[in-house]
Structure 1
Amino acid sequence: MLLTPYHAKYFAFELTKRVSTDSVEKLASTLIDAKVDLNPHQVEAALFAFRSPLSKGAILADEVGLGKTIEAGLVLSQKWAERKRRILIISPANLRKQWSQELLDKFYLDSLILETKSFTKEINEGNLNPFDQKDKILICSYQFAKTKAPYLKHIKWDLVVIDEAHRLRNVYKNNSVIAQTIKDTLEPFPKILLTATPLQNSLLELYGLVSIIDDHLFGNLKSFKAQYSRADKYVDSGIYDELKERLKPISKRTLRRQVLEYIQFTSRKAFVFEFFPTDSEHRLYTLVSDYLQREKLYALPASQRKLMTLVLRRLLASSSFAISGTFKRLQEKLLDILKRHEENPLEFENYLNEDYEDYDELKDEWDEEDDEISLEKWFSEEELLEIEEEAELLGSFAKLAESIEVNSKGEKLIAALETGFEEGAKIGASRKAIIFTESKRTQAYLSELLSERGYQGKIVLFNGTNSDKESRKIYQKWLAENKNSDKVSGSPTADMRAALVDKFRNEAEIMIATEAAAEGINLQFCSIVVNYDMPWNPQRIEQRIGRCHRYGQKHDVLVINFLNKRNAADEHVYRLLNEKFNLFNGVFGASDEVLGSIESGVDIERRIAQIYQTCRTTEEISSSFEMLRNELEESIAQKMDATKEELLVNFDEEVHEKLRINLAESREYISKYESLLWKLTQYTLEEDAEFDEGNLTFKISKSFSEAASGNYKLGNKPLSGHFHYRIHHPLAQKILASWSHKTLEEREVIFDYSNSPIKVTGLEPFLNQSGWVTACRLEIESFEKEDYWIAAGVSESGDWIDSELIKRLFSLDANLGASTNLDENTKSLIDQRLKNEVEMAKEISFAKNGEFFDQEYEKLEHWADDMKISLERELQDLDAEIKLKKMEARKAVDLQQKVIAQRAIKDLEKSRSEKRKRLFEAQDEIEQKKESLLSAVENQLEQKLEMEKLFTFKWNLK
């Protein structure tokens, strides 16, 4: 296509203009940039979060498996593009890495996970508030956000995303310390809450979540209870409909059944392989279990005994190889105490962390604040003898573990893998299996075992360090193959992970991964998940399986588990996880619906650990697990009924229509933006790059100031060995900036309509004519900043060309003519026309802001009414109490009793009078609060205009 600088200037305007929050076009550049498939429900959710510039946030509550992370990613990616980069993500500890990786992989956004180590490191490097970062999204856990609340308060956040937000649903209760701290700390800032289960047992939970976003959507807790506590019992009443309407502006929920037209879901199928430990293995387990149940242990610090006991039991169940070195280190620790008479608990903690990579995360989640840390350093003679006996016992455990050369579970793994591969072949799945273990030593053992049994060269190890020789070799090869693409992030840790995943995808058959390392990776190409070690936390198991069983998986996922038939507790654990949580069978994500009904998998993990620690007989174990099952059954059974579900869900027909419109508009805008970016890039780099229009790729052979040499691919499906070219790629940003700031002289532009394959009927009356065009960018700032295309065109015969029709000129080939100047008479006419265009744009903006204002004011009206209801309810309660006391006084026989009763009535009446006075004062306060909020909105209402001339040229249409 033959272009001119005027084409380029117009294209740059279209690609950088700011549009209204409720327009699909707002997300166009983000959708082009992101490496995600276009799903209309996710676009709808992201637009909902942008719904109004006055909104304080939204609850995105789509059913499980619909990609709420992507929805939030679209929102924060757009914020990032708008240079609003103070962004915080609060998530469960075990999802932090997943968030970090998803942001990098899908949206090219850098993030920093803040936890104790990284926080301290930042402070040591001079950053006294580690939450104060430039161009990095911050990610932290709930517990960390609560602990570091004073630091969070000092940052003016542009957006806070809270994942698994149902954890905060009881914020209205006095004992919800974490929830209340997070709410109070982040109160002024816009928030997005993500949860598939916003409502479990009570409507008050919904009130709690809404209050975290906006305390002015409902009144206080008392008024909410008074109005809506029984709304779900009387669905036919207007109260229920009113509640539904009030929730609509803040809560968005889409169900799986509503998007089946766009997304297909696979299932998961469980395989259980039973094994019988040898006598030596069983003896080791029994001896160690008895040891851990001792009342007093010197090897484990009192402050962390529960946590370390859990880890030791997990390592014991993993393999004899995992536990043998641990016993040696514990023995060494006790011998060191005998020498120095002092404890050094951190030394062993570091050792545990080397093998059991989830240790730091477990420590964060367990948070054993109830245990006091012993400061005693010196021991009595009697205690020293006990320490010596314990050290000898640990040494015997180590010897027994080292003598066990064959692990029964490991042998069973060989048969399990073959079964898995055979079943996978039946459904057309690739020969890929990921094996999860909780121990790096077990990982090494399994690698050696499988290599000896026919899998040599087909295995990839994946852990927190990836420092083995083979991993480093894979990494170096990957770096060489991808040196000319943006797959190389520059972060050795991230690039190593990418290299190992690519190796698994393209060559290997088996990945053996520690759970901590595998967080955040997507393995949709793998359909066999092997739980070699079974966690006791159901949410951790779901996260494991979710690495493969997720959106984009094309096959049913086979889940392989192992069951120790000589351990009664292990059998009960498996039954609990399988039957109560439905983790291993069923439709995609079904188990999350149940997982959402429990407060935390850590609580269940604690309960199971307690059973292992306290029960000694089979009968005690069975009884304790039966009690736990019954408690969980009661909790899970308390699901929200159909009427509560309807509070958050729109009619299917309404959803389908919106999704169809969104899909059509999104595709149209993406196509338009890609086309404009391609043309602008091609025109700008025509002398510096070779272009392949059919594949939307280009090659820069020689580096210059704007870009590195290499291959580039436009679109959200990057090619291997190519940089992913997109609107926010540094090269594209430089090109856009250069044209946005360029001043163009007035010249003649000759448009070739006759030879154009595109026919624009509106332009045909102007064929073989000439005239003038002036175009401007109008910025209107009120509630938000928007850019408007303001243009006026006139022919030499005096006919006006519509502003939108002028845009169509730039779909035609054109050549530049001679320089020229606009005469004063025509300029005056065009200027007047431009003024009219400005007034029209102001009216459009004003009408749109009027809608936003109406929504906000209606919310304030409801809030004021709620607060009055609360005060009036207090008076009604007093009236009822006074009435009751008067009845009691009349029944009193004894004169003294009558006097006492009347005195109580007088006190209540005095209190009522004070309440009435307080009601009038409170009503005035409410009106003042309402006025204050109204004034704040009015201050934003005033329109500020800024006009920038883009260009003027003389047109000639041939």
Structure 2
Amino acid sequence: RDAAIADHQAWLEAERDTMGFARVPTSEAKRMVEWLQAVDPAGAARVEVRRYTGGFLHGKTYLVEDGAAQAAIAGSSNMTYAGLAHNAELNLGTGGGTSSAGKVREWFEHFWDLSETYDLAELYGRLWDPHTPWSVYLRMLWELYGEHLDDDENPNVRTGLNLTRFQADGVTRMERLLDEHGGVLVADEVGLGKTYLAGEVIYRTANINRQRVLIVAPAALKSAMWEPFLETHDFSRWVKVYSYEEVRNRLDPDKGSIHTFLQEVEDYSLVVIDEAHNLRNSGAQRSGAVDRVITAGSPKRVVLLTATPVNNSLNDLETLVKYFIRDDARFASLGIPSIREYIKQAQAIDPANLTPEHLFDLMDQVAVRRTRKFVKEHYSNELIIGPDGKPTTIKFPQPKVRRIDYDLDDNGLALIDAMVYALDDPTDPHAPRAWEDRSRDPKRLMLARYLSSMYTVDHDLQEYQITNAGLLRSGLLKRLESSPQALHASLEKMILSHESFLDALGKGYVLKGEALSEWVTSDSDDLDEFVLEFDKDDQIESVDGYHLTELQADVDSDIELLRELRNLAAVVVDGIEPKAERLIAELTQIAADAQRVDPRGLSHADRRKVIIFSAFTDTVLPIHEAVLEAIENAAAGSPLADYRDRVAPPIMGSYAKTHERGASGGVDQGGRASTIAGFAPATAGPRNAAGEPAAKDEFDILFTTDVLAEGVNLQQAGQMINYDLP
């Protein structure tokens, strides 16, 4: 009996506590409490409530008294709105002071006398009691997430992935968002195991539910990471991996049967996009190709993996979310009438004042996002299975960043001064008479070849040309800082492009370069590709609509200045480059430090391992050769000599193009995985049946471009040198 009464009380309180914050139920509850607490003029209570606790009382009756007259209704109707107004109930009534009404009243009085006074007004009156901020906060959490509190009670499928607790929690949230919205953005910071989170969802979809899964990833990660990952963990044959380029090519009518490929992808149930920030530009070919895959055939669940959902602007986030949230008003009931406007408002906030809270409402609905700081605070002492198969405490080492200065010689200073001045053009292309008011300083680049629309008679300015010109200036400055070789190579290409443009002007037409209107929204940051794309475009326009004399003069002026800048760069290339010399000195010091006993117990071999990064192949190749030469010439027994025969071939994304230019060095796509394993066998190489590294430790220095910036674990290296200005 006592337990039943306690359960009933708990049920009443739960009913009260889950009323919600809506205006109508709140006002009705207040009216009820006021009615229950009403008193007559003499101060006596108008309403009394009692609760029968002697057993289960199922009967319902309604008594009405008007002086001596009595009436009664007895039947199935509960005293609720539905019971009194909507439900199909059966009730019998009697009135007029009949004996039947009196009998009903006797029945009521009998149980009334056996019942206990119950303060229903006090129960509901607590809704308006003052509460601490903490209580209000917990109530809000219940309102938002109460229905998901049981999610973590679902048994975790055994996949052999050895998920940590924070990873398993991430999978639980992923599954919930996939069920609710058909997609999820997994944006955990680098190193927290996004691949394993996706792997768990893939396993459940393919191995447990026997549904097909498509993984789309950068080409380097397809062969070096995803295919070995799927093989190691025995994933189902229903899982297929394509690179971005393969998807794009399969949907190119000039390269194969689109229909056949679309038939294949129609049946996929889950699409996983790795390094999804590559799709941030919706106008790019790869983005369009992936979107066609997602929308082909039956609805698909979509998992986007990226540690950097925002690269250039918050619009990147909107683009990614649209791959699985097609309705801009999807979250209107949560206070986000328009996803686009919501992000636009956040974009308008001063970056200095923009915080994660400004995007929380949206991210809470679409993303799994944990930082290393969050994991440290909420999952301290968490264990993870290491490469050797043994559990180890998760640690996030803090890198020690050092700045390395070097001195430029006179030739280097002259090149920098000339380039900076040349790229600092004060002309505003939006001005109505921009082509007339433009700077005519022969030492400044006007980039007229790329801003041809500024010279139209009706001033039909193309915004993409202005944007591209800005990107070109930025790209040249980046190459200037990286190496004179990188700058020299780009200036050579620009000169050839300008000469072709000037030749076309002489023949009466303008090379419009309309293909470059797409380049501004592409995923490429390759300046060489930018320049060459102009000359691939066969769209032309008559010079009749242009201020031809001014356009020819400015292009010719730019050609002369480009030649001067190229010659300045050539002088620096032919000399001894101070930056490369400083790099060699730093490598010598690293090797010397590695020879000493480390108090932390770190190995000599790993402490001298160095990754040398540059964004440009034209930089990587010459510094690779310079370092090789210095090592070969190092005296026997010197620290630098420790690197002899230990320098890996450079890994670059443009291997084929490099060799077309007559350069040497580099490793092709097929040899990339073995080179990486030879440099970091403990963290990036395969393992044998005993869980030990299967690759031989062959290299201590690895030169690379950003082709290895994604999905490769090179943490065995003790040092990383960014040869470019970060």
TM-score by length of 2: 0.49
Bigger share in helix: 1
Bigger relative contact order (CA 8 A; separation at least 6): 1
Bigger share in strand: 1
- Say which one has the larger Rg: 2
